[in-house]
Amino acid sequence: MDSASRYLSLEKPNKADHLWRYTPWKKVHPTGDVSEIPLLGQPEISLGVIDGSDLPPGIELKLGAAGEPDFSRSSAFTNSFLHASAESSQWTLVVDKGFSSEKPIILEVDTGDSPSIAHISLEIGKTSEFELITRVTGSSEWFGLLRTGQIQDGAVVNDVVIGLLERGTMLRSDSIDICRDAQVRAGTVSSGSERTKSDLRYIMGESGGNIRVLGSILSTDSMHLDHHIEIHHEAPETYSRLSWHSACGGKSRTIGTGMLTIRKGSRGADAAQIFHNLLLSKSAEADSIPELEVMENDVVGCGHGTANGPIDEEQMFYLKTRGFDEDDAKRSLIAAFLNSTLSEMGGEALHEWLVGELSLQLEALNA
């Protein structure tokens, strides 16, 4: 069965579905007609180095899919829709075995001003070591991003996706396999689009996999940013940490739902998650739902937690006594809060670049 037929054969999700509890599918469908698979445009995608220097050998962006993706452990509904819509808008990022780059690699995705979609398959070779930024910009009313693939044995990868759409809706779905002894930092930075719905799933099916999933989310005005994260431990001696920070201003709403699953036989697995929400106005709303599903007795540890709170008035007072005005003091505290996860997403060069992007968003903040 092809993706279009699979999508049309599935029962449409409702609020009883954990994934769609806070964002109905009809709200993020490109047309609102959930029985339709519309024809969507192709964004402009380019691969380069963060400082503009020449791309090193061993990494290449190819037009076309690497093969039929496996959606058995992800949302068949969302991914079949995105896969069907992106049949003529597919790319594969091929990274050779042993590839290394001291400078971050950047994948620029320009959605343009019309509804568009992209399917990017990641084929990250064994023992490669590099940092990848995927930056989404544009003024499209709707954009879909499907990322599939695998990070192969022994690779060390910092993988950051930053969403900076000027308006509209962004629907993102990740389904990434973390192979034996691979070490991954998966970062999400979101401060654009009026509505975002993300379904991020990482599968550790081989022993020794290590992943840190990190979020720095800034919502303003009437934004609605909903991120669902699942980490599946399916092999012994796997490790994961999920740390998600959201700063919410105006009348915006953020949702963060996390599911850590430890399957039977995943001996020695170590998993934990924490959500922190900073409320910048009385009208802002933040919801966090961390969940665990543990089917193995022999685990190192499993934990979860969540915390909400406003800006600390004592810290505001401290900054004001040292010459900060109200707005500058607030921006500084928001930056410090989001930097807690931002700083873990990569090395010095990547961190400085991310801080620069975040600073531009904070300058326009209207909490």
pLDDT band at 284 (very low <50, low <70, confident <90, very high): very high
Q: What average pLDDT score do residues 195-215 get?
A: 96
Residue 3 falls within a domain, yes or no?
no
User: How far is residue 135's CA from residue 133's CA, in Å, rounded to a whole number?
Assistant: 6
Q: Could you tell me if 243 and 272 are in contact, meaning their C-beta atoms sit under 8 angstroms apart?
A: no
Number of domains in the chain: 1
**Structural domain boundaries, residue 121:** 40-363
Predicted pLDDT of residue 176: 96
How many of the other CB atoms lie within 10 Å of CB of 200?
23
Closest CA to 193 of 218, 228, 230: 218
Residue 21 falls within a domain, yes or no?
no
pLDDT at 9 over 70: yes
Residues 277, 278, 282, 284: is their CA dihedral positive or negative? negative
Q: What average pLDDT score do residues 252-280 get?
A: 94
Q: CA distances (Å), 108 to each of 3, 139, 175, in order?
A: 27, 14, 20
Predicted pLDDT of residue 319: 60
Amino acid at 256: G
pLDDT at 365 over 80: no
Residue 35 falls within a domain, yes or no?
no
pLDDT at 360 over 90: no
pLDDT at 25 over 60: yes
Predicted pLDDT of residue 64: 86
User: How far is residue 220's CA from residue 238's CA, in Å, rounded to a whole number?
Assistant: 37
Q: What average pLDDT score do residues 161-167 get?
A: 93
Predicted pLDDT of residue 367: 42
Residue 134 falls within a domain, yes or no?
yes
Q: Could you tell me if 168 and 194 are in contact, meaning their C-beta atoms sit under 8 angstroms apart?
A: yes
* Residue in the block written with tokens 């709707």: 142
Q: Convert the pLDDT of each residue in 292-321 to its tens digit.
A: 888 888 888 777 787 877 776 766 665 667
Predicted pLDDT of residue 310: 75
Q: What average pLDDT score do residues 104-116 get?
A: 96
Residues 57, 58, 59, 60: is their CA dihedral positive or negative? positive
> Which residue(s) pair with 171 in the sheet?
144, 197
Q: Convert the pLDDT of each residue in 29-78 to its tens digit.
A: 999 998 899 889 999 999 999 999 999 999 999 998 766 666 666 677 88
Query: What is the pLDDT of the chain when averaged over all its residues?
Result: 90
Residue 24 falls within a domain, yes or no?
no
Predicted pLDDT of residue 191: 79
Q: What average pLDDT score do residues 123-151 get?
A: 97
Would you state the structure tokens that stand for residue 363, as one six-digit string?
Answer: 């300058």
Residue 238 falls within a domain, yes or no?
yes
Residue 96 falls within a domain, yes or no?
yes
Q: Convert the pLDDT of each residue in 173-193 to its tens digit.
A: 999 999 999 999 999 998 778
Give percent of the chain above pLDDT 70: 93
Predicted pLDDT of residue 101: 97
Q: Convert the pLDDT of each residue in 43-57 to its tens digit.
A: 999 999 999 999 999
Q: In terms of pLDDT, which residue wins out, 328 or 243? A: 243
Residue 205 falls within a domain, yes or no?
yes
